[in-house]
Homo-oligomer: A and B are copies of this chain.
Amino acid sequence: MRNRPPTIGEYLLNKLESYNIGHIFGIPGDYVLRFYKLIEESSIQHIGMTREDAAGYAADAYARTNGMGVVCITYCVGGLSTVNAIAGAYAEKSPVVVISGAPGINERGKDALLHHKVKDFHTQLRIYDEITVATELLDEPFTAFNEIDNVLDAVFQYKRPGYIELPRDMVDVRGTLYRRASTGEHKSDTDSLNAAVRDAVKFINQSKNPVILAGVELHRFGFQDKLLKIVEEKQIPVVATLLGKSVMPEAHPLYLGIYEGAMGRREITEFVERSDCVIILGAFMTDVNLGIYTANLDRSRSIYATSEKISIQYHSYDDVMFEDFIDLLNSDKLRKQKKPNLSWIKPESKPFEVQPKKSITVKRFFQHLNTFITDEMSVIADVGDSLFGAAELRIPQHTNFISPAYYTSMGFAVPASIGTQLSVPNTRPLVIVGDGAFQMTGTELSTTVRYGLNPIVVILNNQGYGTERHLLEGTFNDIGCWNYSSLPTLFTAGHGFHVRTEGEFDEAMKAALDETEQFIIIEVELEKLDRSPALARLAERMAEEI
């Protein structure tokens, strides 16, 4: 007897396993219960969060570290609650698969007013068309397997979210296995590739002080080692965008720091903008990422290579794959640079001295925090000064810094820490989050308790939406006052600290590092209008547009 083909639900789970998916984040609901039962019976673990959007952020962070992430929710009340999280994953190129339950095909007759429906049965699908690279409704057994392949291939290739809608009466239907016609492999055109590499090598070899600007795609495509190899073999110094942060081990002698135009450290801005050859790899020209367009990078002295475009000065090259370009660029023909003098760029590294009685300031807080960061930590920064200040942290291991630096959606960090730690279990998350952002999703600490995770969550409490106060102040920037360090009472687990001075923070961090079994929350009380030097520079620029 021949083997029967799998059911649509089984096929989907098998494919996800082949993409290294070990966890699926989400909240069940009646339209997706049948598929949830299948997950429970599979080798993939379901991670129940408290809210669907938080499940989306967790899946996004998981995708950034694992190569793909999955969120699974019910129809509309679930799917429409993850829209913002998935939009953020689209904007920042994170390969997240959304699986939504849906009313059965056989229930859909006569425009029935089934619960959770909005305008018609395709409302949610059309909305996901706006924020994903591929959407499929699995309403037909003959095509379902190919449709699953289409979405997963697109997510993997473009590093953007995709959407699969699974009507509940299709979960257990057996699909049809057949070899579909190949859509053609994505390959470079050899002549274009050779021309691009030849021109790039020539341009770099003729330059006096080349520098690499490394961006987010190096994370997404897993090219961190390719970058490190070219940097070390050719002795080219490297800076990162904010979204690309931690693409290099940041203690590396050739890594200089974050380049973000007028918003960043003056020495780095100067070094990059005086370079006669800026090699931009996998970076997108976004506003916050590049200091609200204060970056000064003109095409006459740039090489620009991403998965979407390859250009050298004013020439663009079609049909050149990003990976092939990087691989061939690091050839014998590319000369090794003379050891550049970089000492003037690096920040003074005199050791931070704790002043125990001194009230904590944002600037010194990040210097202080830097002393605690180890190889075994993933740093996850929420938006606002949690992000701007964190730009100066030195992350020792690559890909151990995660933040929504372009889409900048508040409330990302606490749920993201869950996805990160499940994906990279040998690290401990260090979350930096403002009070306003924490109020949005901080109750996900409850989820860390359920699954035995142990993040250290530092809340920078400046009593409201701090970044906005520096743009336009009003009572609307105020928020409610929470006793954050009491949260362990609510969740009946964890430890809480409330600190005002450097000495208190020092002790709290040391206690946090000693307590490895559960979450730690450290509320850092700040002056309402204190801010990082980066935010001061940013706010000045942004306030002009308000």
Q: Which residues of A contact B (CB under 8 A)?
A: 28-30, 33-34, 36-37, 39-40, 46, 48, 50-51, 53, 76-77, 80-81, 83-84, 87-88, 90-91, 104, 107, 112-119, 123, 126-127, 130-131, 168-169, 284-289, 293, 406-411, 439-440, 443, 446-447, 449-450, 465, 467-468, 471-472, 474-484, 486-487, 489-492, 542, 545-546
Contacts and interface: CB of A to CB of B under 8 A. Distances in A.
A489 B439 CA distance: 15
A91 B150 CA distance: 32
Contacts of A284: 113
Contact of A33 (B46, B287, B472, B490): B472
Contacts of A83: 80-81, 83-84, 127
Given A30-B542, A465-B28, A115 B406 contact: yes
A50 B442 CA distance: 11
B123 A87 contact: yes
Nearest to A45: B475
A407 B37 contact: no
B116 A123 contact: no
A114 B406 CA distance: 8
Nearest to A285: B113
Given A36-B476, A410-B77, A118 B131 contact: yes
A479 B48 contact: yes
A115 B407 contact: yes
Nearest to A411: B51
A98 B236 CA distance: 51
A116 B285 CA distance: 14
Nearest to A122: B130
A179 B231 CA distance: 67
A84 B76 contact: yes
Nearest 5 pairs of A and B residues by beta carbon: A446-B480, A113-B286, A80-B84, A50-B439, A81-B84
A50 B479 CA distance: 8
A408 B74 CA distance: 12
8 contacts: A30-B468, A30-B545, A53-B81, A76-B407, A107-B545, A168-B546, A447-B480, A450-B480
Q: How many copies does the complex hold?
A: 2
Residue among A76, A117, A284, A449 having the largest count of chain B Cβ atoms under 10 Å:
A76
A117 B104 contact: no
Contact of A115 (B286, B411, B482): B286
A34 B475 CA distance: 13
A509 to B, nearest CB: 23
Given A50-B439, A83-B127, A490-B490, 13 more contacts: A30-B471, A40-B474, A46-B475, A51-B440, A53-B53, A76-B407, A80-B87, A81-B409, A83-B84, A446-B480, A481-B492, A486-B489, A486-B490
A342 to B, nearest CB: 29
Given A118-B90, A486-B486, A28 B408 contact: no
Contacts of A33: 468, 471-472, 474, 546
Nearest to A482: B490
Contacts of A486: 486, 489-490
A282 to B, nearest CB: 14
Contacts of A40: 474-476
Contacts of A118: 87, 90-91, 130-131, 407
A90 B115 contact: no
A545 B119 CA distance: 22
A190 B537 CA distance: 68
Contacts of A484: 490
B479 A409 contact: no
A8 to B, nearest CB: 16
A30 B470 CA distance: 10
B546 A477 contact: no
Contact of A37 (B28, B439, B474): B474
Contacts of A115: 286-288, 406-408
B491 A408 contact: no
A383 to B, nearest CB: 9
A118 B285 CA distance: 14
A28 to B, nearest CB: 5
A495 to B, nearest CB: 15
A437 to B, nearest CB: 10
Nearest to A80: B84
A81 B52 CA distance: 11
